[in-house]
Amino acid sequence: MKRRAFIAALGGLALWSCPTLAQQRPFKTPRIGIVDNAPIWDNFRQGLHKFGYIEGQNIDIEYRSSEGRQDRLAAAANDLAGGSVDIIVVSGSAAARAAQQATTMIPIVMIAIGDPVAAGLVQSLARPGGNITGNTLLGPEMTAKRVELFRQIIPSISRLAFLWNRNNPSHPAYLEEWRAIAPQLGVEALFIEVSNIDQFEPAFQAMTRERCDALSVTADPFHLSHVGRIIDFAAKARLPALYAAQQNVAAGGLMSYGPSLPDLYLRAAGYVHKILQGTKPADLPIEQPVKFELIINLKTASALGLTVPQMLLATADEVIE
């Protein structure tokens, strides 16, 4: 018996010493691809850490940049899809579409998407289908809530500009929502397009010419990459602006209301973990936001000659003075 055990042990040792089998590691370090890394992605990395993933130790991250240009999103996505990444993670509808067009095999996790169904990215929120899932910015009655916030500061508001980007697959749905609800809210919505850098100045001139009372800005990645220009224009034109991204208020914007972007990035790590554990993206429902925040910049309000009601200040999650 001892002799047989010894021979069996030698046989097992021989198998593991075989060059072909030795190359088959029992554990492969997961490799994640990210398009357009920015400080906000620290929240995603924090989420990964909560699941035990530490970059450079037990998970690797490949970064690609579009340099803030819509025409380079496809190149960034294709580069990641052609590499050895296990999952591609993107933010915004345009980047999600670029990744989806780059691969139908590699799982894709999208963060802070406007309307993934209307944009044609998924079949439904409950069952996305295909190789893509993630979370959305969609929340109940967001348009009505933003108009209500404006009305508390500007009771006489009647004309509101909505900045949109035709390259964002979710924006046509936003426009339809505004067209449907604006008359019910007693405001006129003016749709001002900025889809490339050259359109900023004509857009600013149009808002001034049309005498808009306020401006609504979404979390479109292209607009956010140039949000400094928007904030500077709003200050010079004394135009109250409501943003979707909280960091825009800290940069000088009047106020923001919407889903917590840091929370959406944090929660996206859960999708990565589940996919690495073997769950298919098609079986992971699109998650809607659960945390909304109102941020108000009193210094900007004062510069615009606006008085923010105490009741509104009391409901704000943060007030910058």
pLDDT in tens, 230-270: 999 999 999 999 998 888 999 999 999 988 888 999 999 99
Q: For residue 11, what pLDDT is reported?
A: 42
Longest distance between any two alpha carbons in the chain, whole Å: 96
Token pair 């359109």 is found at 199
Q: 68: buried, middle or exposed (CB in 10 Å: 19+, 13-18, 0-12)?
A: middle
Mean pLDDT for all residues in the chain: 88
Q: For residue 245, what pLDDT is reported?
A: 84
Rounded to whole angstroms, how far apart are CA atoms 289 and 224? Answer: 20
Beta bridge partners of 34: 63, 89
121-124: Cβ within 8 A, 24+ apart: 121/93, 121/96, 121/97, 121/169, 122/286
- Residue 57 pLDDT > 90: yes
153 close to 306: Cβ distance less than 8 angstroms: yes
Q: What percent of the chain has pLDDT over 90?
A: 67
pLDDT class of 69 with cuts at 50, 70, 90: confident
Q: Please give the structure tokens belonging to residue 272.
A: 């990565």
CA–CA distances in Å: residue 65 to residues 95, 157, 167, 259: 11, 40, 17, 25
**CATH code for the part of the protein at 27-137+261-283:** 3.40.50.2300
> Taking residues 296-303, what's their average pLDDT?
96
Helix (H) or strand (E) holding 199: none
pLDDT class of 140 with cuts at 50, 70, 90: low
- Residue 19 pLDDT > 50: no
242 close to 215: Cβ distance less than 8 angstroms: yes
- Residue 22 pLDDT > 70: no
Where does 89-195 have alpha helices with state H? 93-102, 142-153, 171-185
- Residue 18 pLDDT > 90: no
Rounded to whole angstroms, how far apart are CA atoms 267 and 276? Answer: 15
Q: For residue 27, what pLDDT is reported?
A: 59
Please state whether beta strands 255-259 and 292-297 pair in parallel, antiparallel, or not at all (unpaired): antiparallel
Q: Please give the structure tokens belonging to residue 114.
A: 């406007």
CATH 3.40.50.2300 in the chain, residue ranges: 27-137+261-283, 142-260+292-320
Rounded to whole angstroms, how far apart are CA atoms 287 and 308? Answer: 33
> Taking residues 212-236, what's their average pLDDT?
92
Looking at the structure, give the CATH architecture of the domain made up of residues 142-260+292-320. 3-Layer(aba) Sandwich (3.40)
40 close to 224: Cβ distance less than 8 angstroms: no
107 close to 87: Cβ distance less than 8 angstroms: yes
- Residue 117 pLDDT > 60: yes
Rounded to whole angstroms, how far apart are CA atoms 101 and 219? Answer: 22
SS3 (DSSP) at 107: coil
> Taking residues 102-126, what's their average pLDDT?
92
Q: For residue 181, what pLDDT is reported?
A: 87
Backbone angles phi, psi at 147, to 5 degrees: -65, -40
Alpha carbon 184 to chain centroid distance?
A: 29
Give the range among 54-58, 115-119, 136-140, 202-206 with minimum mean pLDDT.
136-140
pLDDT in tens, 144-201: 888 999 999 999 999 999 999 998 888 888 888 888 888 988 999 999 999 999 999 9
Q: Hey, how many other C-beta atoms are within 10 angstroms of the C-beta on 216?
A: 23
Q: What percent of the chain has pLDDT over 70?
A: 91
- Residue 116 pLDDT > 60: yes
